[in-house]
């Protein structure tokens, strides 16, 4: 199984259809303080091995970071840990800010 990429527009649609989708933000604390998606779960990338058991395994999980590289690595890790409904936000929160929420601060 490979990690499915999801565009900001597809994510917006998914959240309307499945509001219990987990938005897993794997950025550092200082990045999250600048901007974040609503109702996100924050676990910094380096804490995933210690904390991934806190995540539900019966709902979709969309992993995101700044541009989508770190989140893809985390999604692969979670896939190896047995999670199945995994998505990586293409372009990360930066793409979300450009396409969906232009008022969101960018960095």
Express each pLDDT in 56-102 by its tens digit. Answer: 999 999 999 999 999 999 999 999 999 999 999 999 999 999 999 99
Q: Is 65 noted as a catalytic residue in this protein? A: yes
Task: Please provide the DSSP assignment of 63-84 as one string.
Answer: EE-SSSHHHHHHHHHHHHTT--
Domain that holds residue 44: 4-100
At residue 61, the pLDDT reads 97
Count of helix runs (H) and strand runs (E) in the chain: 5, 5
Residue 107 included in any domain:
no
Residue 30 included in any domain:
yes
Domain count for the chain, please give it: 1
pLDDT at 1 over 70: no
Residue 106 included in any domain:
no
Residue 43, classed as helix, strand or coil, is coil
Q: Which two tokens mark 65?
A: 């970071």
The catalytic residue among 23, 48, 63, 65 is: 65
pTM more than 0.85: yes
- 81 Cβ neighbours under 8 A, 6+ residues apart: 52
| pLDDT over 70, % of the chain | 99
**Distance in angstroms (rounded) separating the CA atoms of residues 36 and 33:** 7
Q: What is the CATH number of the domain that holds 27?
A: 3.40.250.10
- Rounded to the nearest integer, the mean pLDDT of the chain is 96
Which position has the token pair 């995101």?
64
Residue 12 included in any domain:
yes
Residue 26 included in any domain:
yes
Residue 91 included in any domain:
yes
**Distance in angstroms (rounded) separating the CA atoms of residues 104 and 39:** 15
């Amino acid at each position: 199984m490979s990690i499915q990429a999801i565009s900001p527009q597809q994510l917006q649609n998914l959240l309307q259809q499945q509001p219990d989708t987990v938005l897993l933000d794997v950025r550092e604390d200082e990045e999250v303080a600048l901007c974040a998606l609503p109702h996100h779960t924050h676990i910094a990338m380096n804490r995933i091995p210690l904390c991934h058991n806190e995540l539900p395994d019966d709902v979709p999980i969309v992993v995101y970071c700044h541009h989508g590289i770190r989140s893809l690595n985390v999604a692969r890790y979670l896939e190896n840990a047995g999670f199945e409904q995994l998505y990586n936000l293409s372009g990360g929160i930066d793409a979300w800010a450009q396409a969906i929420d232009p008022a969101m601060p960018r960095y």
